[in-house]
């Protein structure tokens, strides 16, 4: 029997943070691995199922039915009462020390989700707009802006690139600064100063081989005009520029989040130079195989230089990161992995079609 999935979506959901998940479910449905239905829970008793903008709940209607929540928030915290009412709570920001503060029965429900980034497909767009497009549009300008932002999100193929596609011996790091109105106040200075230091170090070390800089926000233009990127900040154009580079540098995200840039890097089969990750992945990435680690600007430069000089290491890392994407990040494969871990049914794990092919 084909397992049936009822996915609860609502007009308050964050359409970008939830987009990879919805894309993956729709891809599995298109392949016949699941039967999928979207439901907007309008009854008062059911509204909690779609009340948190970054938590997606769904029911698995199978021999062993279950209710699951996927928490896609950037940092720590859980959504109440959702975690109390589901069988499993799968968390993007999975941090074991946080679980120690939860009651034991709740902590036992929590599993790691893995990497996330914003993407969509024709099927996921059609289903989403058919379910909540009208109520979103009726909310006025804000709702229409959210719909436009979602519709500007690229399809998965835009991110994907095989490891044998020629790239340039360049280092990519394009990043933005934050204000205290956008992120917790204590994070602003370490986030911004760290990013500026990396931009300056990369530009000094690699000159024209450095592709990036600060996104031209008012803050960056006012305080760091010489460090603003000369490249486009439009998402699709930025992705095209980034994909042509051998190396992508990653610094920590807001609340130590597993930022979208990580998923984008694996999709593009790039070499990764990264700070150590705070949050755990279902399948860990390995230092030396999937990335080279750094904690200072000087160590970042050394890691990039090593990859630029060692063609064998760079080629093997590109292949390893492509394989990781195909198995762990590509939307259908990612959702299938979640379902297999929850149910033990290997039937979900039909391999992804495409993935840079």
Helix axes 311-324, 260-267, angle to 10 degrees: 110
Within-domain flag for 357: no
The residues near 52 (Cβ < 8 Å, ≥ 6 apart) are 71, 79, 82
Q: Do 125 and 200 fall within a single domain?
A: no
Instruction: Give the DSSP letter of residue 296.
Output: S
Q: Do 137 and 53 fall within a single domain?
A: yes
The residues near 38 (Cβ < 8 Å, ≥ 6 apart) are 7, 9, 127, 128, 130, 131
Q: How many CB atoms lie within 10 A of CB 2?
A: 12
**Per-residue model confidence (pLDDT) at position 26:** 97
Within-domain flag for 354: no
3-state secondary structure of 270: coil
The number of folded domains in the chain is 2
CB 300 within 8 A of CB 238: no
- Measuring CA to CA, how many Å separate 101 from each of 76, 82, 357? 11, 17, 44
- Measuring CA to CA, how many Å separate 227 from each of 35, 222, 237, 241? 50, 11, 19, 18
pLDDT digits (tens, 9 = 90+) for 260-278: 999 999 999 999 999 999 9
pLDDT over 70 percentage in the chain: 96
Indicate the pTM of the whole model. 0.94
pLDDT digits (tens, 9 = 90+) for 51-103: 999 999 999 997 789 999 999 999 999 999 999 999 999 999 999 999 999 99
CB 12 within 8 A of CB 43: no
* Confidence band for 184, pLDDT divided at 50, 70 and 90: confident
Within-domain flag for 356: no
* Confidence band for 355, pLDDT divided at 50, 70 and 90: very low
Average pLDDT, the chain: 94
Q: Do 194 and 323 fall within a single domain?
A: yes
**Per-residue model confidence (pLDDT) at position 347:** 60
For the residues 187-204, what does the mean pLDDT come to? 94
List 245's β-bridge partners, or say none. 168
* Confidence band for 1, pLDDT divided at 50, 70 and 90: confident
Q: Do 166 and 148 fall within a single domain?
A: no
CATH number at residue 264: 3.40.50.2000
- Can you give the residue range of the structural domain that contains 74? 4-154+331-348
């Amino acid at each position: 029997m084909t397992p049936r999935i009822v996915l609860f979506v609502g007009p308050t959901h964050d359409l970008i943070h939830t987009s990879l998940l919805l894309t993956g479910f729709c891809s599995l449905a298109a392949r016949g691995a699941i039967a999928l239905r979207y439901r907007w829970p309008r009854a008062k008793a059911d509204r909690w199922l779609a009340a948190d903008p970054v938590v997606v709940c769904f029911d698995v209607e199978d021999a062993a039915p279950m209710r699951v929540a996927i928490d896609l928030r950037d940092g720590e915290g859980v959504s109440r009462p959702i975690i109390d009412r589901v069988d499993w709570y799968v968390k993007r920001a999975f941090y074991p020390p946080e679980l120690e503060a939860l009651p034991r029965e709740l902590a036992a429900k929590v599993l790691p989700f893995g990497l996330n980034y914003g993407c969509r497909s024709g099927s996921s767009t059609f289903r989403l707009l058919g379910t909540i497009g009208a109520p979103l549009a009726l909310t006025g300008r804000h709702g229409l802006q959210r719909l436009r932002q979602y519709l500007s999100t690229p399809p998965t193929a835009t991110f994907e690139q095989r490891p044998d596609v020629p790239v340039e011996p360049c280092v990519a790091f394009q990043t933005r600064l934050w204000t205290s109105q956008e992120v917790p106040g204590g994070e602003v200075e370490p986030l911004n100063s760290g990013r500026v230091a990396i931009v300056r170090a990369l530009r000094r070390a690699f000159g024209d081989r450095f592709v990036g800089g600060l996104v031209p926000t008012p803050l960056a233009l006012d305080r760091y005009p010489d460090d603003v990127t000369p490249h486009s900040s439009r998402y699709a154009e930025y992705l095209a520029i980034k994909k042509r580079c051998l190396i992508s540098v990653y610094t920590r995200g807001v609340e130590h989040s597993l930022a979208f840039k990580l998923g984008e890097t694996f999709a593009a089969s790039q070499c990764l130079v990264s700070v150590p990750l705070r949050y755990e992945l279902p399948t860990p990435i390995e230092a030396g195989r999937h990335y080279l680690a750094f904690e200072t600007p000087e160590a970042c430069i050394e890691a990039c230089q090593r990859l630029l000089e060692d063609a064998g290491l760079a080629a093997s890392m590109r292949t390893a990161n492509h394989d990781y994407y195909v198995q762990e990040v590509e939307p259908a494969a990612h959702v299938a992995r979640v379902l297999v871990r929850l149910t033990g049914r290997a039937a979900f794990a039909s391999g992804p079609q495409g993935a840079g092919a």
